[in-house]
Amino acid sequence: MDLGIKGKVALITGGSRGLGRQSALALAAEGVNVAICARGEDTLNRTADELKATGVEVGAYVADLGDESGAADLASKVEADLGPIEILVNNVGGSLGTSDLVNSSLDDFHMVMNANLWSAVALMKLVVPGMQKRGWGRVINISSIFGREFGGTAPYMVAKAAMIAASKHTGMAVAKDGVTVNSVAPGSILHAGGSWEKFIANSTKEELDEFIARNLPMGKFGWPEPVAASVAFLASQQADLITGACLNVDGGQSHNLF
């Protein structure tokens, strides 16, 4: 299937590893020129080299999206180097070592909301108006199944639920302008350097087997490629009737019906 997005410009936050890296590679495989950002320069440069090998234009930026000025700085640099951002993938996030409500401080909530939600909102506010003016755009926000049902830490669950809500509301608001906004809710996805790799390393075989039997119907952790393929499809011309949706990519892990 031709996704019809060759030559478009995409920004993928947290694009140096894991789901962000795989999403950038999936978009590059479709001929999309990609910009990625991360806080660590080494992994950023390695991923940039992988992307350049596909033949597309690549921008790699060390960026801290913890405040609005960092988001504005990043968007400005990407558009100066590659052109207007037509596809935005907000992938930065994580639970950042937090816990339940009682044992998480207000600072913990602020920290997780900044990483998962406010960085995405700031970038959407920066690039969506341009998408509206040009009559085409795609925003894909990487949420979590724990934004749809119980799981993870309290700050993380709150942030990811808010991200799904923001995606729904924005998708409805810009639907007539040729812009779609959707979220993707991965389950427990195993990748190098990710939280599930650490979980496996710190668990006994019995603990791990029990977790998999209780939570993962496929009998194994998920992997990044199906998430990235979903991102690429939602970014495509073929997905122009899909907006305000949240797509689970979890191997049946979640329990919700909707």
Rounded distance between C-alpha atoms, residue 181 and residue 88, angstroms: 9
Residue whose C-alpha is closest to residue 14's, from 40, 52, 50, 33? 40
CA trace torsion 188, 190, 192, 193 (10° rounding):
20
* SS3 at position 250: coil
**DSSP output for 184-196:** EEE-SB--TTSHH
Number of H helices, E strands in the chain: 9, 7
Please indicate whether residue 61 is annotated as part of the active site: no
* SS3 at position 64: coil
DSSP 179: E
Residues 61, 118, 156, 221: which is the catalytic one? 156
Burial environment of residue 49 by CB neighbours within 10 A (0 to 12, 13 to 18, 19 or more): exposed
38: part of which helix (H) or strand (E)? strand 33-38
Phi first, then psi: what are they for 249, rounded to 5°? Answer: -130, 85
DSSP 90: E
Rounded distance between C-alpha atoms, residue 253 and residue 117, angstroms: 23
Residues recognised as catalytic: 156
